[in-house]
């Protein structure tokens, strides 16, 4: 018996591992992919039948590459033209099941090349690839039926669309394989490990209904909110690929979307809800809202950089406070409700590594809610919309797009994902007028002193600027009771400051808050007046959502001001469109302006959008550039490096554990980190940093950080600025 794994005095045969992985991969896959997933899994480790691998299990230092062997064997079996084209899907997955999906390469590649085409040329006598033919004594390989999947590809309108869809199916197959391989190995090596949660979605929907019906309806605005929610819920009863929910700020779209999702799950039997949010700053708030209402009925898992499951609060996870189990659920999203970031979601669809793509198969049979969908950068709309379209078309899922400033995606749907069914959940907008709670006033070109003088006339004012340095400078000259918010602060300090602001807004003392754009989305604050530096229309209207939010005053005032410091890059493009509208005296909050804004923005980015496809330069299924495209596609524009602020007992303890080699604490440290833009800011601050174990940087002198301001690059004239 030849072995796949050994641990202590236990052994797992290769045959048992292949059969166990095949069974799991088949269970992971949608019906039309089950046979393909099973074949891929049965082939992935046949290279372990070589004698060198058996010696490797006994800790012999022998170089051996087993992953390509199964791919070489399946390629030999392909005889028809259909099989020769479709089998590459399996070959990418098998060859990359440890190192990640490779680039396809060209038929001229050398065996030493890391591409799929190069690796397929590696004969049994190639360095590190020995004779593994004894697998035939135990395993019989044969290609699956590709006809159903091939027919899906034949429906495509052109080759670009065909390559995109082929790549999608390949990544999905890779997800089915790598997760199955990981879990089958885990079951052998760690049989005590627990996975999976049960959920009572019917009880959750009932609990949410009780919450919604318990809201006090004592104003015309609250009555309108209820009518809008009921209309959206009633219109969501069909089966759509994508539902468009463009409810205004303050109309309760978060709970409304949760109600729609739970209703769909209970009606269709789907498995989970995935709630996708663009900013980590509002994920915890959304989690707490959901957990308070339905947490006793349905386990809810957070997956983002600011959350660590290593020390969960007992109250936070009443259903199961086992950190290891929660952590395992974030690895492959095997949970009833996942709350995550846009970056995490889309990188889980376009990465090349198995650790990221493992989650993809669990996006099937789901209701996926995209909050603030308008924040997807225009140049990324092709891959993002294609991904959502394919998930809903082929994986039995439904998507809900949420935004108070919803772009019209109709033409982009037709271009990138034709044949999908998109439905608007609000067809009667007559109640939207109740949410026009503020007026937008153009101050034009001015200076900060004029802005501060105007803001002093209000009991509560919020000043939002485009960069952190300006926010800090304004805060330093503000008088009275004041607060500051920016990403120069740690997530822990920002959360504390927001709580203090909420309490102060209920008091009698005048307050002023200065912030960067992080306060615009999901932060439930209500000011008499908001002052917003010129930026994109979505930013300005979201800022307006913090003004007279609850409609308790007749009107709130939102002032748009421009300074000599002009926005740069993409923000400059967005701001120039708004500037044109303001100069023409138009009502920038009107639906007409919102539609024109996105139309002009998309037109400006059309060429960039068109070029952002994995199919660019592809000449056949054999040379799809999985790895190169994953490296190229940027969901975070600028690289960042986190710096730990060691100014409390929690950070002392976590860093002490890290020094002892416990790398699990790295995630717990995220809430005490400030993200520096790399390389400029990091290089500027480097003289004031020390390096801890695990490559973690820690601020060496806390005089450069305060809980009010955050990280300061200059203190009393002594600093890098």
Q: Is the pLDDT of residue 191 over 60?
A: yes
* Least reliable range by pLDDT among 243-252, 413-422, 519-528: 519-528
- State which of 431, 462, 495 marks the end of a domain: 431
Judgement on whether residues 309 and 424 belong to the same structural domain of the protein: yes
Judgement on whether residues 29 and 161 belong to the same structural domain of the protein: yes
625 within some domain: no
Judgement on whether residues 137 and 213 belong to the same structural domain of the protein: no
On average, the pLDDT of the chain sits at 89
Mean pLDDT over 72-84 rounds to 96
* Dist. CA 597–CA 581, nearest whole Å: 9
607 within some domain: no
Which pLDDT value is given to residue 58? Answer: 61
Judgement on whether residues 297 and 347 belong to the same structural domain of the protein: yes
Region label for 710, one of left (φ > 0), alpha (ψ between -120 and 50) or beta (otherwise):
left
Please list the residues that pair with 705 across neighbouring strands. Answer: 711
Mean pLDDT over 162-177 rounds to 98
399 within some domain: yes
Domain count, the chain: 4
Judgement on whether residues 442 and 375 belong to the same structural domain of the protein: no
Query: Which runs of E-coded beta strand occur in 446-519?
Result: 460-464, 481-485, 511-515
Judgement on whether residues 7 and 151 belong to the same structural domain of the protein: yes
354 within some domain: yes
Judgement on whether residues 560 and 660 belong to the same structural domain of the protein: no
* Least reliable range by pLDDT among 381-385, 567-571, 703-707: 567-571
For the stretch 458-502, pLDDT in tens is 999 999 999 888 999 999 999 999 999 988 899 889 889 999 999
Mean pLDDT over 110-116 rounds to 94
Judgement on whether residues 256 and 378 belong to the same structural domain of the protein: yes
pTM above 0.85? Answer: yes
3-state class of 393 per DSSP? Answer: helix
Judgement on whether residues 338 and 425 belong to the same structural domain of the protein: yes
Judgement on whether residues 170 and 119 belong to the same structural domain of the protein: yes
612 within some domain: no
* Dist. CA 234–CA 238, nearest whole Å: 9
How would residue 568 be classed by pLDDT, with cut points 50, 70 and 90?
Answer: confident
Which pLDDT value is given to residue 61? Answer: 55
- State which of 189, 215, 244 marks the end of a domain: 189
Judgement on whether residues 421 and 470 belong to the same structural domain of the protein: no
Judgement on whether residues 261 and 219 belong to the same structural domain of the protein: yes
For the stretch 592-636, pLDDT in tens is 999 999 999 999 999 999 999 999 999 999 999 999 999 888 665
CATH of the domain at 554: 3.40.50.300
602 within some domain: no
3-state class of 68 per DSSP? Answer: helix
Mean pLDDT over 687-713 rounds to 88
Q: Are strands 689-691 and 697-699 parallel, antiparallel or unpaired?
A: antiparallel
Dihedral, 178, 183, 188, 189 alpha carbons, nearest 10: 90
Share of the chain above pLDDT 90, in %: 66
Which pLDDT value is given to residue 459? Answer: 95
CATH of the domain at 44: 1.10.3210
The domain of 553 spans: 437-588
- State which of 189, 212, 236 marks the end of a domain: 189
């Amino acid at each position: 018996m030849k072995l796949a794994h050994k641990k202590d005095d236990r052994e797992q045969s290769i045959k048992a591992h292949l059969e166990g992985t095949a069974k799991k991969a088949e269970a992971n896959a949608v019906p039309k992919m089950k046979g393909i997933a099973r074949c891929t899994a049965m082939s992935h480790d046949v290279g372990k039948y070589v004698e060198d691998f058996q010696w490797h299990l006994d800790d012999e230092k022998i170089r051996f590459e087993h992953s390509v062997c199964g791919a070489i064997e399946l390629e030999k079996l392909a005889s028809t033209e259909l099989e020769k084209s479709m089998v590459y899907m399996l070959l990418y997955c098998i060859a990359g099941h440890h190192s990640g999906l490779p680039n396809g390469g060209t038929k001229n590649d050398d065996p030493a090349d890391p591409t799929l085409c190069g690796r397929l040329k590696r004969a049994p006598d190639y360095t590190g690839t020995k004779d593994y033919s004894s697998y035939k004594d135990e395993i019989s390989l044969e290609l699956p039926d590709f006809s159903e999947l091939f027919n899906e590809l034949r429906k495509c309108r052109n080759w670009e669309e065909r390559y995109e869809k082929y790549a999608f199916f390949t990544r999905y197959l890779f997800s089915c394989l790598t997760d199955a391989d990981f879990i089958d190995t885990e079951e052998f090596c760690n049989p005590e490990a627990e996975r999976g949660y049960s959920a009572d979605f019917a009880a959750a929907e009932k609990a949410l209904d009780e919450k919604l019906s318990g809201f006090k309806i004592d104003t015309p605005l609250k009555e309108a909110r209820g009518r809008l929610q009921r209309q959206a819920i009633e219109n969501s009863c069909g089966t759509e690929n994508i539902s468009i929910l463009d409810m205004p700020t303050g109309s309760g779209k978060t709970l409304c979307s949760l109600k729609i999702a739970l209703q769909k799950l209970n009606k269709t039997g789907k498995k989970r809800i995935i709630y996708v949010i663009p900013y980590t700053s509002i994920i915890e708030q959304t989690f707490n809202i959901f957990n308070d209402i339905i947490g006793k009925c349905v386990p809810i898992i957070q997956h983002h950089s600011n959350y660590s499951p290593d020390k969960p609060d007992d109250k936070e996870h009443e259903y199961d406070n086992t950190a290891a189990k929660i952590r395992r659920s974030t690895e492959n999203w095997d949970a009833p409700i996942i709350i995550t970031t846009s970056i995490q979601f889309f990188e889980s669809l376009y990465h090349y590594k198995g650790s990221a793509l493992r989650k993809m198969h669990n996006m099937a049979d789901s209701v996926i809610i995209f909050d603030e969908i308008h924040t997807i950068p225009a140049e990324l709309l092709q891959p993002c919309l294609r991904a959502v379209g394919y998930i809903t078309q082929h994986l039995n899922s439904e998507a809900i797009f949420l935004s108070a400033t919803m772009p019209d995606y109709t033409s982009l749907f037709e271009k990138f994902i034709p044949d999908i069914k998109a439905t608007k959940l609000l067809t009667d907008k007559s109640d939207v007028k109740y949410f026009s709670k503020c007026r937008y006033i153009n101050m034009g070109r001015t200076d900060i002193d004029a802005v501060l003088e105007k803001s002093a006339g209000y009991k509560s004012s919020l000043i939002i600027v485009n960069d952190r340095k300006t926010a800090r400078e304004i805060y330093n000259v503000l008088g009275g009771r004041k607060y500051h918010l920016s990403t120069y602060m740690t997530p822990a300090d920002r959360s504390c400051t927001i709580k203090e602001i909420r309490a102060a807004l209920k008091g009698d003392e005048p307050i002023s808050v200065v912030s960067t754009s992080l306060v615009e989305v999901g932060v439930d604050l209500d000011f008499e007046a908001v002052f917003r530096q010129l930026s994109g229309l979505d930013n300005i209207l979201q800022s307006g959502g913090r003004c007279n939010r609850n409609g308790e005053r007749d009107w709130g005032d939102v002032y748009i001001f421009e300074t000599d410091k002009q926005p740069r890059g993409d923000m400059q493009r967005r701001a120039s469109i708004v500037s044109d509208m303001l100069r023409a005296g138009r009502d920038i909050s009107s639906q007409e302006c919102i539609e024109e804004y996105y139309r002009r923005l998309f037109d400006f980015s059309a060429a960039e959008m068109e070029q952002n496809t994995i199919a660019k330069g592809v000449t056949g299924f054999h040379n799809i550039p999985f790895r190169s495209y994953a490296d190229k596609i940027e969901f975070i524009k600028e690289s960042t490096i986190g710096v730990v602020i060691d100014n409390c007992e929690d950070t002392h303890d976590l860093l002490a554990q890290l020094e002892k080699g416990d790398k699990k604490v790295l995630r717990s440290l995220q809430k005490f980190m400030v993200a520096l833009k790399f390389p400029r800011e990091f290089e500027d601050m480097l003289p004031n940093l020390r390096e801890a174990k695990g490559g973690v940087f820690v601020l060496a002198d806390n005089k450069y950080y305060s809980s009010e301001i955050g990280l300061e690059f200059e203190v009393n004239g002594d600093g890098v600025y």
